[in-house]
Amino acid sequence: MKGLRVIGDYAAEFLVITLLVAVSALSVIFLVPVLVGVTGYFSKELDARRFKDIFTTIGKNWKVIVFYTIFQLIIIVVPVLNIYFFNTHPEKTNNFVLAISVIALLFGTIYLATSPTVIVNMNVKFRQLLYNGFMMLFGSLWRSIISVLLLLGIVALTLTYPYVLVLTLYIVPMIISKLMKENFYKLKAKALNLSVEQLKRKEKEDDYLDEKGAVKPVDIHFEETASPTEKTDGDGAMSEDVDKTDVEEQNDSDGVIAESSEDIAKVDGGEQNEVTASNAESSDSTQNE
């Protein structure tokens, strides 16, 4: 029964993802946001991911997705149109223009493979996206080459055998998202001076990465035991409670809670006046005697 359920889940994914990517590809402008959303969908395990994750990912990262979409439309669509449809330049400059178009198309394909994973796992701005998207290539060169070749194969199928393209709209985004996620793990593990296995284990056990892949603003200790000089959050909270208790006891000792420096001055002034008055009374009684 479990095997049939898994097969049914994959079949439903194939139909929904293929239809969604195909419709977005026909509109052109929505293809890039949908690919980012699909990457966020595939970043989760089969039992945990839901189709709404696609649109949730787009909604959470819409600002950087807008600039990323414009960038991709310029660096991919324009060279493709130039190479295959607008190849009417004068003969002397034709080769130069075609070379520039091919280079731009290659860079656009690279960013199409790497940037969705960066957007899903990191909270970045557009300039940071360009840098991190290029650095993702060095997580694993062979995985990056496979991802780029798969995308170039889709471009070739689009222009030659568009009917076969339908079979790739599910499997190719899934493969690329898995390969690039491994690149991301490798680069992040290197930055944290850990192994990839340790990073994955700590992510599952402690959940120290937020929904965008950024490290949460807390101290992360990968050792099993903490050093004696370090305090845990519980110890810090207890010490703060002790300090507050001491302050309250000091304030309550005279039955007066001093809320400001003026209140303290007033209390001190009142006490001095009382002491002066008592001294005066004692001196008067001494003189009378």
Q: What CA–CA distance (Å, rounded) separates 76 from 85?
A: 14
CA dihedral 16, 17, 18, 24 (to 10 degrees): 110
What's the confidence (pLDDT) of residue 122? Answer: 92
Label residue 62 by pLDDT band (50, 70, 90). Answer: very high
* Dist. CA 83–CA 80, nearest whole Å: 5
Flag whether pLDDT at 24 surpasses 60: yes
Of 108, 252, 240, 122, nearest to 181 by C-alpha is 122
The structure tokens listed for 225 are 């035991």
Query: Are 133 and 115 a contacting pair, CB within 8 Å?
Result: yes
C-alpha dihedral (192, 198, 204, 208), degrees to nearest 10: -20
> What pLDDT does 92 receive?
56
Q: How far apart are CA 282 and CA 270, in angstroms?
A: 19
Rounded alpha-carbon distances, angstroms, from residue 218 to 191, 199, 205, 212, 287: 17, 16, 15, 16, 71
Residues contacting 189, CB < 8 A, separation 6+: 195, 196, 198, 199
In this structure, of 30-34, 67-71, 87-91, 149-153, the range with the lowest mean pLDDT score is: 87-91
Tokens of 146: 């496979």
User: Does the structure show a pLDDT above 80 at 17?
Assistant: yes
Alpha-carbon distance of 81 to 31, in angstroms, equals 17
**Two tokens, residue 95:** 């080769």
Residues 6 or more apart whose Cβ sits within 8 Å of residue 79: 100, 101, 102, 104, 105, 108
pLDDT class for 225, splitting at 50, 70, 90? very low
Average pLDDT over residues 257-285: 46
**Does residue 11 or residue 273 have the better pLDDT?**
11
Q: One-letter amino acid identity for 192?
A: L
pLDDT at residue number 279: 53
Task: Please write the tens of the pLDDT for every residue from 79-126.
Answer: 877 777 766 555 556 777 788 888 888 899 999 999 999 999 999 999
Mean pLDDT of 121-136: 93
Place of tokens 């699909």: 38
What is the residue-averaged pLDDT of the chain?
A: 76
32-48 mean pLDDT: 93
The answer to whether 21 and 171 are in contact (CB under 8 A) is no
- Residue 54: Cβ-neighbour burial (10 angstroms; 0-12, 13-18, 19+): buried
Q: What number of other Cβ atoms are within 10 A of residue 20's Cβ?
A: 20
Reading the block at residue 91, the tokens are 């003969």
In the prediction, which pLDDT does 214 show? 57
Question: Quick check: 181 and 43 in contact, CB under 8 A?
Answer: yes
Tokens of 120: 């899903």
